[in-house]
Amino acid sequence: MSIDLDSLKVFVRVAELRSFTDAARQLGIPKARASARVLRLEAELGTQLLQRSTRVVRLTPEGELLLKRAPGFLAEADEIETLFHAGRVLRGRVRMELPVVVALRFVIPRLPELLARHPQLQVDICASDRIVAALREGFDLVLRIGAVAEPGLVGRRIGESTMMNCASPSYLRQYGTPRTLDELRSHLVVHYAADPVPNFEYLEGDVYRELPMRSVVTVDNFEAYEEACIAGLGIAQVPRHGLERHDNTLVEILPEFVARPAPIVLLHTHGRSVPRRVRVVMNWLMGVLAPIVGELVPR
């Protein structure tokens, strides 16, 4: 018995997403071809792997068993192929999701060097500060700054970004400079939409706590977050490098009450079966971002 690797790859993606439609879209093939590939695999193995209905796809017990073993098998196959084709042209598409500032300031300006090295590689960049469902939306790579709650992602830690509290001179003239947590209660913060409610995070002893705050403005990307703070609309918690970047437009306050450092992690969605093109781009991104980790935004 032989197993077609392409069919196995389709099965894994369908099983992970529980959808032929989503899997076909991510793989760039028609839905009918994805279905035919899985049917071919089932015929080769002589067993049903998926239970199909008009609304949902479920794994059979045999499908569950195969899904546990398939990623490792595919990774082995890819490694073996790489041994004998290490010099082959890298081609295909890699989709990545990056925070807006990271994409615009650091990655896109360096992208020509990657594409000059691999001219048949295609790179899709989604520059967004919303937290996407990386696996379901078909991204190969995502950069997360802060806690990662999404299952199915495998990552490499780049570093962390230390934080500071700041406000604009105009805000401090209007509201005064808070020097204690009690004084802070009468102040405003800029509300970042990813946070459920406006709050001020601080370290108390060995524990990080959140102080509920008032806000008059909510924003959904980091550049707007900084600009709202500069405009005097509230206190913000930003990377420490931000004070240097904004020179005299921001003033540090409450240095003894800093938020927790934000971990910076580059993640992929391929489990143990990482395509060579994704590994190459991931390594390139690590090389670009690791030296300037302190400049990456923490949102």
Going residue by residue through the chain, which has 299 residues, state the pLDDT in tens, using 9 for 90 and above: 567 888 888 898 888 788 888 888 877 788 899 999 999 998 888 899 998 876 778 899 998 888 888 877 776 776 666 555 555 678 888 999 888 878 888 899 999 999 999 999 999 998 876 666 676 677 889 888 766 656 667 778 888 778 899 999 999 999 999 999 999 999 999 998 878 899 999 988 889 999 999 999 999 877 788 899 999 999 999 877 645 556 678 899 999 999 988 778 888 887 767 888 888 999 999 988 887 765 554 43
Do residues 145 and 281 share a domain? yes
Burial class of residue 3, CB neighbours in 10 A (0-12, 13-18, 19+): middle
Q: Who's near 50: CB < 8 A, 6+ residues apart?
A: 11, 14, 15, 38, 42, 57, 58, 59, 60, 63
Whole-number pLDDT of residue 205: 87
Whole-number pLDDT of residue 143: 87
- Structural domains in the chain (count): 3
What CATH number did the domain enclosing 282 receive?
3.40.190.10
Do residues 185 and 239 share a domain? yes
- The answer to the question of residue 158 being in a domain is no
- The answer to the question of residue 171 being in a domain is yes
Whole-number pLDDT of residue 91: 80
Whole-number pLDDT of residue 299: 38
Structural domain that includes position 23: 5-84
- The answer to the question of residue 157 being in a domain is no
Radius of gyration of the chain (CA): 23
Do residues 253 and 280 share a domain? no
pTM over 0.85: no
Please say whether the beta carbons of 49 and 66 come within 8 A: yes
Whole-number pLDDT of residue 247: 65
Whole-number pLDDT of residue 3: 79
Rounded to 5 degrees, φ, ψ at 75 are -65, -40
